[in-house]
Structure 1
Amino acid sequence: MNPTALLLALASTLAAQAPDQLLLKDYRPRSIYKVPVTRVEKAMFPVVDMHSHAYAETDAQAAEWAATMDRCGIERTVVLVTEPGKGFDEAVKRYGKFPRHFQLWCGLDLSGFDQPGFAAAAVAELRRCHRAGAKGVGEITDKGGGLAGNKGGMHLDDPRMDPILEDCADLGLPFNIHVGEDQWMYEPADRTNDGLMNAFTWKIADSPSILRHDAVVATLDRAAARHPRTTFIACHFANCSSDLALLGSMLDRHPNLYADISARYAETSPVPRATAKFIAKYQDRLLYGTDMGMDAGMYGITFRILETQDEHFYEVDQFGYHWPLYGLGLDAGILRKLYRDNALALMKRVERP
């Protein structure tokens, strides 16, 4: 049997499967509501994507990505190169061929975090990357176990990080930080968890050595307070999708803190009124981002969620959740800030002569 026939046979089998035999991972609901379906292939305003990664593995793929950006209205993409050293140097060679499209940020060398001289070595590598073209730092990740490969217990508010964070301020480098995961990943993976499929994939271990959600988010709160000259970007709504008020309270306290909305469209669009209200309130502090690859369809999904008032639609294959999604219907003024103006204002804020 050829591959196409095999796929058709499998689809037919699944379609005919008895409901009590259907696995949740195979569930692909289709909305039967007769409501508007809007395709948004190009953003309403030029976009600065503040959160992406080095997805292109060849020069040809980078060129294709740049062409896709042009079609979709993405003016520039921030490529977060999490590996310092050779990883960053290779990214410079590839993405440096497209200076209009891509801006590179670098990772940190945290390998010697428990050794004397750690901070000096990390700062030296940071400054080398800055000279090579890095315009920011990130994505630096702590899912509760620590920053250094999620082990060792060194969190963002650790005194060992102070010289690095201060150097970011001196160099004019904003700092993108990923703290924790969303609340579903801390809940039991049982029948009560409405984000079960993604929660199972990204589950945080229940261990005394790993900070729980609010505790790891609090490390960012303390670091932002201790380093008011440093500009922080809490990516993914600071993983506070289920409690945006927690992020809001930090934004209220720290004018040096921003948040990007990358890869949390599915987590926030099921509650469109609450999310739209939050975005309106903090419209000067939020940044568009994707963190989901480089294809046109992905961009279009984000535009649909942000720009339209479409109701009850699914994007299971993109996001992994079986929740119906809803457009936020943000007004043009807010969209312009979210898509572009806030990113430009942030870079101007950190700019050094």
Structure 2
Amino acid sequence: MSTLLVSCQHAPEKYTLADYQNVPKLDVHVHLETERPLFVDLAKEHNVRLVNVSLEYTKGWEDVFRKFAFGLNQHQAAPGWVDMVTAFAVSDWDDPAWESKTLAWLDSCFDAGAVGVKVWKNIGMVSRDTAGNLIQIDDPKFDPIFAHIKSRGKVLMGHLAEPKNCWLPLEEMTTNNDRRYYGRHPEYHMYLQPDMPSHEELIGRRDRVLEKNPDLKFVGAHMGSLEYDVDELAKRLDRFPNMAVDLAARMGQVFYQTAENREKVRNFFIQYQDRILYGTDLADNGERTREQLNQAMEDNWKRDWEFFVTSNTMESSLIDTSFQGLDLPREVVDKVFYQNAVKWFGLVD
């Protein structure tokens, strides 16, 4: 009888703070730009697997090659803990060999274990062709690249556009982290550049790509740049069944909306529990100490765990008001923090 009773018992419906260490987690958006193993060693202590994300920054293919090489090094040193998303550059966009070069590069990355491809906000906001026109993500020249990514069974990860705060003056932004970022990076602050595309235009171009490629698996980095309103994000998830989003560097917007309407945000996470991937944008370039890195991990990973698994009243430097944790069901937490990443990126569980 006692054996039967034990076998019929169900796991608790909710996690607690004490479960943090023992539950497998997966951060799908980190940037490791060093060969030292410190970040990965600390992630193991937190029971967090990683997806390292490459991108084109300001140096074209040099950025892409260097960032992917760091990710490959970390993956080979800890294959069960680090997976890789590669990237490509558009710095040589008008070179007749650009397409063949890009496809060959992506194949070499896939053969080395890359699970996806990142496109960054330079497309649409920074990079230009030789005539001076902004390169846009819905340009037909990208079509064979996206088709190839799909044919290889990989994921396109897109950081396209920026948070909507980017088009507001600093004092009107809803989160402190955005205010700090654009204060430090006025070159990306679109409010200061009224001749640049609007948020709506950039999102519209991204949406046209998804309309044209309905079978392409797409992960919208940073909540798909629709972080300001879960209702707007829900519309895109309804419209594009192969779209998911990660939460990297957008928890401030989640907290802000939670402070305004907790039940709406909670219902969003429950309704779209299969389409949300946990990510942070944490990084290591080899300069910070073990203590500094671990503090950054605890500040993000443990804060977010508390937010999702408890109903505690919380405060964060990201916003100026308190908010209450979502207290999500265990199965939702498992999906957001781990299972969805395995599914969308095709990771080995």
Q: How would you bin the TM-score normalised by the shorter chain?
A: 0.7 to 0.9
Amino acid at match of 2:167: Y
CA contact (8 A) 2:84 2:115 kept: yes
SS at the partner of 1:211? coil
User: What is the distance in 1 between the residues matched to 2:333 and 2:30?
Assistant: 19
Using the TM superposition, name which of 157-166 and 108-117 deviates more: 108-117
Question: 2:186 maps to which residue?
Answer: none
Question: 1:153 maps to which residue?
Answer: 134
- Pick from 72, 76, 84 the counterpart of residue 46 of structure 2: 72
User: What is the distance in 1 between the residues matched to 2:89 and 2:105?
Assistant: 7
1:5-36: per-residue Cα shift (whole Å, max 9, x none)?
xxxxxxxxxxxxxxxxxxxxxxxxxxxxxxxx
User: What is the distance in 1 between the residues matched to 2:165 and 2:224?
Assistant: 14
User: What is the distance in 2 between the residues matched to 1:158 and 1:40?
Assistant: 49
SS at the partner of 1:271? helix
SS at the partner of 2:28? strand
Question: 2:313 maps to which residue?
Answer: 311
Task: Flag structure 1 segments of 5+ consecutive residues without an equivalent.
Answer: 1-37
Question: 1:14 maps to which residue?
Answer: none
Amino acid at match of 1:114: D
Q: TM-score, normalised on structure 2?
A: 0.78
- Pick from 233, 256, 259 the counterpart of residue 247 of structure 1: 233
Deviation at 1:99, TM superposition (A): 0.7
User: What is the distance in 1 between the residues matched to 2:250 and 2:195?
Assistant: 26
Question: 1:236 maps to which residue?
Answer: 222
Q: Does 1:98 align with 2:84?
A: no
Question: 2:91 maps to which residue?
Answer: 111
Deviation at 1:270, TM superposition (A): 2.8
Q: Does 1:282 align with 2:272?
A: yes
Change in Cα spacing, 1:224 to 1:176, as seen in structure 2 (3 Å) is same
SS at the partner of 2:121? strand
CA contact (8 A) 1:48 1:343 kept: yes
Amino acid at match of 1:287: L
Q: Does 1:271 align with 2:257?
A: yes
Matches within 5 A, 1:1-353: 42=20, 45-55=23-33, 57-59=34-36, 62=37, 64-74=38-48, 76-82=49-55, 83-138=63-118, 140-142=120-122, 144-146=124-126, 152-190=133-171, 192-195=172-175, 198-199=178-179, 201-202=181-182, 203-207=189-193, 209-272=195-258, 273=262, 274-293=264-283, 295=294, 296-297=297-298, 298-314=300-316, 316=317, 319=318, 321-348=319-346
SS at the partner of 1:67? helix
CA contact (8 A) 1:45 1:339 kept: no
Change in Cα spacing, 1:107 to 1:40, as seen in structure 2 (3 Å) is farther
Deviation at 1:303, TM superposition (A): 0.9
SS at the partner of 1:224? helix
Deviation at 1:84, TM superposition (A): 2.4
CA contact (8 A) 1:280 1:334 kept: yes
1:83-114: per-residue Cα shift (whole Å, max 9, x none)?
32243234323441111110011111222113
The aligned length equals 302
Change in Cα spacing, 1:178 to 1:205, as seen in structure 2 (3 Å) is same
1:270-292: per-residue Cα shift (whole Å, max 9, x none)?
33222212111111111111113
Q: Which runs of 4+ in 1 moved over 6 A?
A: none
Change in Cα spacing, 1:280 to 1:41, as seen in structure 2 (3 Å) is closer
User: What is the distance in 1 between the residues matched to 2:332 and 2:137?
Assistant: 31
SS at the partner of 1:330? coil
Deviation at 1:73, TM superposition (A): 2.2
User: What is the distance in 1 between the residues matched to 2:173 and 2:54?
Assistant: 33
Change in Cα spacing, 1:39 to 1:338, as seen in structure 2 (3 Å) is closer
CA contact (8 A) 1:139 1:178 kept: yes
CA contact (8 A) 1:84 1:108 kept: yes
Change in Cα spacing, 1:186 to 1:133, as seen in structure 2 (3 Å) is same
User: What is the distance in 1 between the residues matched to 2:50 and 2:177?
Assistant: 29
Normalized per residue, the structure richer in helix is 2
Deviation at 1:148, TM superposition (A): 6.5
Deviation at 1:135, TM superposition (A): 1.5
1:316-339: per-residue Cα shift (whole Å, max 9, x none)?
2xx4x4343431211111111111
| Aligned residues: CA RMSD | 2.6
CA contact (8 A) 1:84 1:125 kept: no
